[in-house]
Structure 1
Amino acid sequence: MGTLVYDLDNNGNDTQYEGFVGRDGYTVTRHLGKPRTYEPRLVNTGKLPSGIQYRGIWRWIAPNTVSFAVDINNQSDSDIKGTGEGPISFTLPVNPAPAVGQAFQGYMINGGYDAGLPNFVALTGMSWMGNRTNVVKILYPSANKLREGLDYLLVVPRRSSVVFSGTYEADTL
């Protein structure tokens, strides 16, 4: 107990990181060097067209705290539609803590004004209390009446990009 670790990855099998073993067990406190990459996924969609680019980076920045950025680019000529089983969602690299709900900020670039959406759309991600998965639901300002708040995102237009980034509490401790 009470061990501090610096893994500078001289054997090249992982990333450089700092960690410790304490009262709560083993934990990585932060990644050193380049961010880790991961491939985020869209969830609650029907058949996905070819031509989608998934890019994600992340790192531990403190115990149980993740910094991440996601860019999902629909380069196809087809809209991505939801299945009706909830909003279109995306995946995080590490599960968020289920003890509280967490919010994520993002945006959509839709230069062609496709699928009846504006060229720039503010997006909010939602990880609800009790969520034990890495899935974040996507919402956007109501297209019908602004005073009605947020609606589930049910379409990602053709030739558009969905971008999220931020910091969140993870579910590792």
Structure 2
Amino acid sequence: MAEISYPFSQANASGGTDMVSQTQWQKLAAGHGDRIDFRLTAPTYATGALPFSARVVGRSVEIAPGRAQVGGFAYELDAPLAVPVAANAASVPRRDTIVLRADLPKGSVNLAVVQGQPGVTPVAPQPQRELGQVWEMVLYEVAVPASNGAVSVLPRLQFGAPPVIGSPWNTAETAQFTEPNAFLYDLDVNGDGSQAEHFRGRDGLVVTRDLGKSRTFTTVLGGTSAAQVPDVDRVVRWRWIAPGVVHFGLRISNRSSAHIDTTDGAWHFTVALPQPVSGIVPASFSGFLENTNWAGEVPYMSHVTGTVWWNGSSTLHLFTPNRVYPSMGLDGLNRIPAGANLYLSGTYEASIFN
């Protein structure tokens, strides 16, 4: 029979079977992954408080109780169990592993120590993962010094995580009632925002990335008494690209026949960013002023630098090289000529965690 499928209520001529073998069960269950049946929902844990915590007792390592899924099979340790670590009389160290081993021919899951090879830079053995045979999940690396030195354990524990949650809207409010350390997807079912991934961690709820189109923000041009540039000509496209990290692209177009100049009391223009900037390190962005008409005694193309100095500020201060004496450094950008376009873009850390 070329086609086999299972489990059904009864066997049939189309390849369906009503029995599931041990290996078939593993094929069904192993795809859900190996993990310790415990979710890390607290900000911190005391030493020894987690399942399968370990302590060294002489030449053995004592493992605390816990439950786990290994290679598709359930395992439970209901009392502390010590596993011996072989001596190392060699002149170089060794790395072993402590594993949970699902041995299908044997028909059980058990703790085991897998011995590595001594070496100047020892490497711990990789776990075996073979359907129908032996499948291992590593709990610890064991540092075994040369000349039978005292062993130490290095945790390599794999825990279950809260399931990913889909939210049609009001994701920030929904997150208040989810398990800590959970990911949530804002699916924006009503279409008034952006589809995004959120994470509820110890620092609070944060957007980790936008998943669809970039967001739109209408910036404000400050430092001028001229009539504000129409909305369509002062647009920012932006998106969350990582937790607390924004990437943006800004365009201001002066489509009028008059120059836009700063007022007497302002020595440079400012523009507003879509999110306030974290001021731990002042942010600086690069852009240019495109003046294809050579209007207003401004060059055809001018470099523009935008800077934010203060924590929590969303005001970007604009500067450009001195038009007459470039060696004088940067002056405040004080004119957007008629028909000119100002472009800026960059990436920055937002001040969402204060």
Separation (CA, whole Å) in 2 of partners of 1:137 and 1:27: 27
1:48-127 pair list within 5 angstroms = 48=227, 53-83=233-263, 84-127=265-308
1:28 aligned residue? 207
Which digits, 9 at most, give the CA deviation of each residue in 1:58-101, with x for residues without a partner? 10000110011111000001111112323111111111112221
Confirm whether residue 160 of structure 1 aligns to residue 340 of structure 2.
yes
Tell me if structure 2 keeps the 8 A contact 1:19–1:28.
Answer: yes
2:165 aligned residue? none
- Counterpart of 1:68, as a letter, is F
Separation (CA, whole Å) in 2 of partners of 1:50 and 1:31: 28
Separation (CA, whole Å) in 1 of partners of 2:244 and 2:222: 25
SS at match of 1:147: helix
Confirm whether residue 7 of structure 1 aligns to residue 186 of structure 2.
yes
Give the number of aligned pairs.
172
- Counterpart of 1:24, as a letter, is D
Q: Which runs of 5+ in 1 are unaligned?
A: none
- Counterpart of 1:146, as a letter, is P
Q: Which runs of 5+ in 2 are unaligned?
A: 1-179
Q: What percent identity do the matched residue pairs reach? A: 35
Q: How high is the TM-score relative to the length of structure 2?
A: 0.47
Q: How high is the TM-score relative to the length of structure 1?
A: 0.93
Q: Relative to structure 2, which stretch is displaced further, 43-52 or 82-91?
A: 43-52
Tell me if structure 1 keeps the 8 A contact 2:214–2:238.
Answer: yes
The higher relative CO (CA closer than 8 Å, separation ≥ 6) is in 1
Which digits, 9 at most, give the CA deviation of each residue in 1:106-160, with x for residues without a partner? 11110111121101111110111x2432110110111121111111011111110
Q: Relative to structure 2, which stretch is displaced further, 5-14 or 144-153?
A: 5-14
